[in-house]
Amino acid sequence: MKRAIVFVDGNNWYHNVKGMFKPGDIDIFKVANLICSAKKYDLVEIRWYVSTPSIKDGEAMYYRHMGFLDFLEKKGVKVITRKLQRLSNKEILEKKKETIDSLDLCKTCKPLIESVFLDLADLKKKEKGIDVWIAVDMIKLCLMDSECDICLLISGDADFVPALNLIKEQKKEVLTAMVPSGYSSELRKNFPFFILRKETLLKCLRDYKDSKKSKKHL
């Protein structure tokens, strides 16, 4: 059975899912297992990437967000966070270069990551740093980790196309998944995809006990 690591773009997930459900009501563990079961993959790990608000943005929002991340970790999801950043183009490039230099990359992987890393994000956007970290981790874990056969990205963002192309070129399989709204046609054109329709997500609602325990956070 092929082994899959699931990479979740938490920001993209939230903004796309909220048109159908309250995002916190969906159990991403159930979503990942549903996809892997349908594709006959062995689920190795779920990694959730998200930018975190400052408590200065409002205590209620901050503690609600952190409570949700705590719920994910208790479910066994690996949570990777970055503080929300608003940077100039020059600052963005400098931080990306610093990140590359700080990574423990081999001589083979470093050029591969550099080929997409510095050109991944649209510099007209406000940089959160999350898309960069997802791209780097996908490349590192899928190309360097012998335990991974499938790169399963839950995101509808076309910014990941260069990184996914690189993974595919190195003979590793790629699958993307997202709800219909906000799902890039470029992603669906270039890679195998899995559309998470409303009837599918209804099977992935959080259990009543989980929801009751975390009600004050969500």
pLDDT tens for residues 169-204?
A: 988 999 999 999 999 999 999 999 999 999 999 999
For residues 206 and 26, the answer to whether their CB atoms sit within 8 Å is yes
Predicted TM-score of the model (pTM): 0.78
Query: Tokens 């409570």, residue?
Result: 67
The whole-number pLDDT of residue 216 equals 42
**Domains defined along the chain, listed by start:** 2-213 (3.40.50.1010)
Q: What is the pLDDT of residues 6-15, one digit of tens each?
A: 999 999 999 9
Around Cβ 170, how many Cβ atoms within 10 Å? 12
In 10-154, which ranges are continuous DSSP H helix?
A: 10-17, 28-39, 59-74, 89-102, 109-117, 130-144
Q: Which helix (H) or strand (E) holds 42?
A: strand 41-52
The whole-number pLDDT of residue 84 equals 59
Q: What is the pLDDT of residues 52-106, one digit of tens each?
A: 877 766 777 777 888 889 989 998 999 998 765 555 556 666 766 777 777 677 7
Q: Which helix (H) or strand (E) holds 208?
A: helix 208-213
**Cα dist from 149 to 34, 41, 165, 193, whole Å:** 18, 9, 15, 16
